[in-house]
Every structure is written in structure tokens, then in C-alpha cells.
Structure 1
Amino acid sequence: MDENKPPRMYFIGKKEDLVQAKRMNVTLDGRDILIIYHQRTFYALDLQCYHAGSSLEPGDIEEINNKLCIVCPKHKYKITLAEGEGLYKATNPAEKVPTPRWYSKGIKQRVHKVTEVDEDIFVTLSNCPGWIESDYYQTEKGRAELRKAQESEDGEADVNADEDV
């Protein structure tokens, strides 16, 4: 992310089309972004989960600890839609009666600003300074890792298809 670059609003589409689609992914300035419309609000975040790079597009949305979260379909990581915060449930062993609670891992997924202007939807990429874990899958090294994993999965699918014959 170039922190010195002035923010740019990217036209995504007409509000009506995005509301109907509910989710869409786009590439803006070389970055893969997921746009979600949920409960009359638009959200935008990096497409690949910060944990292992799985696409968040098919993830379920749940309310956790009064925050809307997308749940990564591969490993079930919970990420808040508004902040990109990673959440996990655990107990504090120091408590006399350990009670499971939701805790924050901090900001793990880069989120982007969505703006509506005259029924048009725009996204402004985050210029939040510093490294956020989902940034990894926007780098060449991270993209190469994703391609390698996809090729491996495709190879396994081909082998399994042959076994059915």
C-alpha cells in the first residue's frame, strides 16, 4: 500500500445491481477485493482470508459478540466485516469458573471504504499504514502460494475423477 498516494474512489457498479448480487469480487489497482451487501450495508475487504488465503466469498455471515462477521469456509476463522478484526472464542484459565468468551486477535483483514453517490457504488482502497496479515495474499509471493495450492487441489481432483471410472 502506498501511503503517500492520494486515495482514489473506484466505480464498482450500480447500487441496484450490487444489492441483487449480494457479493462480488473485483480487482482494484492489482488488489483482489470482496464487496458484500448485507442488512442494507455495503462492506469491502480483501478477498483472501488472512490465515491461509482461502476465498472469503462463499463464507457465511454471522453475528458474533454484537459484530457482523464473515466466517472463512475453509478453517472457520471469524473476521468482522466492518473492521477486519479476527475473533476467537476461549476461556481464561485464571478464572475460578472459566467461561468461554469472544476475544480479539486485532486487525487481521484489510477493509476498504464503500461510498454511495447517486445510486453508484465506489470503493476507496485502505491506506491504513503498516502491514495487515491479509496483505500477504496481495503480494507476488502470496499469489504464487495461492496458485501452487490451487494447482495441487486441481491435480487431486483429476486423480479422484480417474478413480471413479
Structure 2
Amino acid sequence: MSKEETVESGKPFLVGNKKDLIETKRTSITVGERVLLIIHHEGVFYALDQHCYHAGGSLLNGDIEELDNRLCIVCPKHKYKISLKNGEGIYNATNPKEKDKPPCWKSKGIKQRVHKVTEVDGKVFLTLSETPGWIESDYYQSEKGRADLKLEMDLETNKSAKS
């Protein structure tokens, strides 16, 4: 499902029927000019910018994994891990000076903009994030970021056509 609407800041936007969104599990939606991903996983709805903060890869088909008690989506392009709850970039850290200590999961901080999802009477609503400041996934929601994504897709299409 893809919708293009204008949305006032801070106002909930109707995404669809809860039953339909549960069946599809993942839905790509355009709200204003923002491309978002709605995920239903284990009884909970999540919403985040659809393009990974790292290189703009689509998260639509990313695997969902639990890492250190954090539910994360894994970008199919470069395997970056992003917390569904708050958009933190998660990485597996090791300290080369402590060779006997096992790696542990650490946060890079918030890298992916997440949005609020609410359910009312069988309907699902989304409210765009009002978190102030720049979050890295914002780049792929900008005019320049969208142009870069289009250029990359065109290059990949040309590569495939030549093969």
C-alpha cells in the first residue's frame, strides 16, 4: 500500500485498518514527501523511515532480529542493525586489548527516525516524529538524498541491463 498525503506536524494520519496491516506485516507508505515503513511484528506496530541511514538501502525486506533484548531490523544492503523502538544504530563491539572478553552489543545513538503508531477502534494511525535536530536517516528524505537514491537505482538498472 502506498499513499501520498499532506500531513500537519503532530497530527495523526490514518494508515489503514489494523487487520489489513497485520496481514501484510510490512507496508511502505509516503506521507507528505517522507517514505516510511510500517511493520507489524509480534503484536506491535513500528514505523520508521524506510531508507537506512547508512547508504539509503530499503529496509522493506530487512530481517528482524533480537540483539541484546532489542528488536532490530537488519538492512539488507550492508547489514546495519537498527532498533525498531528508538532508531538506535546497534553494533557488535570488541576491545582488542581484552582478547578474552566476548563481543557485546553497543549503541551508536539514534540514527534512524522512528514515528509514533497508535491504534483506535481497529484503525492504525501514524504521527510523524517531532524529535528536534538532524537524524541521519533524514538525509534520504531530502531532495538531494532522493536524487542520490534515484541515481544509484539507475546505475544498478544499467548494470543489470548490461549483464
On whether the aligned pair clears a TM of 0.5, the verdict is: yes
Q: Which residue of structure 1 aligns with residue 57 of structure 2? A: 54
Hey, which bits of structure 1, 4+ residues long, moved more than 4 A? none
The correspondence of residues 15-30 of structure 1 with structure 2, limited to 5 A, is 15-30=18-33
Q: Which residue of structure 1 aligns with residue 40 of structure 2? A: 37
Q: Which residue of structure 2 aligns with residue 134 of structure 1? A: 137
8 A contact 2:48–2:112 mirrored in 1: yes
Q: Please give the alpha-carbon distance, in whole angstroms, between the structure 2 residues aligned to 1:152 and 1:96.
A: 42
Q: Please give the alpha-carbon distance, in whole angstroms, between the structure 2 residues aligned to 1:55 and 1:95.
A: 36
The correspondence of residues 5-154 of structure 1 with structure 2, limited to 5 A, is 6-95=9-98, 97-154=100-157
Deviations, residues 21-77 of structure 1 (Å, cap 9, x unaligned): 000010112100000000000000000000000000000000001010000001000
Change beyond 3 A, Cα 1:52–1:70: same
What is the CA distance between 1:16 and its match in structure 2? 0.3
8 A contact 2:9–2:128 mirrored in 1: no
Deviates more, 1:85-94 or 1:70-79: 85-94
Residue identity matched to 1:154:
T
Q: Please give the alpha-carbon distance, in whole angstroms, between the structure 1 residues aligned to 2:39 and 2:102.
A: 33
Structure 2: 5+ residue stretches without partners? 1-7
Q: Please give the alpha-carbon distance, in whole angstroms, between the structure 2 residues aligned to 1:90 and 1:64.
A: 13
What is the CA distance between 1:97 and its match in structure 2? 2.5
Alignment size in residue pairs: 156
What is the CA distance between 1:95 and its match in structure 2? 3.1
What is the CA distance between 1:92 and its match in structure 2? 1.7
Say which SS state the counterpart of residue 20 (structure 1) adopts.
helix
Residue identity matched to 2:128:
L
Deviations, residues 93-143 of structure 1 (Å, cap 9, x unaligned): 343623211111000000000000100000000000000000000001100
Q: Which has the larger radius of gyration?
A: 1
TM (norm. structure 2) is: 0.93
TM (norm. structure 1) is: 0.92
> Aligned Cα RMSD in Å?
1.1
